[in-house]
Structure formats: structure tokens, C-alpha cells
Amino acid sequence: MRKAMTIGEAAAPDALASGEVWVEAHLTPSGWTYGSYKDQDAHPVLIPPPRESLLTVRRHFVVAGTAAPRRLSEIRTTRANSAREIARLLEAFGEPHFNVRSQQVPRVPSLGL
């Protein structure tokens, strides 16, 4: 079992005020594993990705303030030599679900997607 690490004091104070929320999902040969996340007004929780991870998807939502627009982005990072293997696993397990409430998937309340 991987241990969660909190950034705590290392986080910049203005990073907490930005209204950012994110969560990561890792595609492995046995399915999706959910990892690091950050909720609005909280310090990030960092969980190392599994060794067998072939694809990491990070969903990031930012609400910077009343004058700034909300932004949603998704970053995909591959760790496989074969795009065919990733395509096969995506076909088998589908896309990650970022707003599921369970012990396996960290709930990020303000993401609401």
C-alpha cells in the first residue's frame, strides 16, 4: 500500500488561494488507480504513481477569482512504449471517472464534473 504525503508547509500560500482542484488517475494493466489530488483551500496529497502505470490522466480545474474565468484542463502522460497497449487498456477499462465517491477514488467536492 502506498503512503500519502502531504506537502504541508512546502506549499506556497498563494497556491491555496488560487481555487485550484486536481486529481490524478493512473491506467495500469489491472485497471485505473487513483492517486494524488488537491481540493480547493487544502494542501495537495501526493501519492506516487504505481510502477506498472502506462498512462496518467490529471484533471485540473481552476477558479482564480471573480474576474478570472474558470478553466478545466486534462493532461495525459504516457509511460508505455506502445500506444497500442494503452488503446487496448482504454478499451478494456474505459476513461477514468473523477467524481466518484468511494474509498478507492478520492472525492474532490469542488470539482463537480
What does residue 20 show for φ and ψ, rounded to 5 degrees? -95, 145
Whether 78 maps to a domain, the answer reads: yes
Q: Tell me whether residue 10 is in a domain.
A: yes
pLDDT digits (tens, 9 = 90+) for 68-107: 666 778 899 998 888 999 999 999 999 998 764 434 445 5
What's the burial of 45, exposed, middle or buried (CB within 10 Å: 0-12/13-18/19+)? middle
pLDDT at 80: 82
Contacts of 19 (CB under 8 A, 6+ apart): 40, 41, 62, 63, 64, 65
Domain range for residue 77? 5-93
Report how many domains make up the chain. Answer: 1
pLDDT digits (tens, 9 = 90+) for 50-72: 999 999 999 988 766 666 666 77
Exposure of 67 by Cβ count < 10 A (0-12 exposed, 13-18 middle, 19+ buried)? exposed
Q: Would you state the pLDDT for residue 13? A: 37
pTM above threshold 0.85: no
- Residue 94's contacts (CB-CB under 8 Å, 6 or more residues apart) are none
Residue 103 neighbours by CB distance under 10 Å: 7
Residue 109 lies in a domain: no
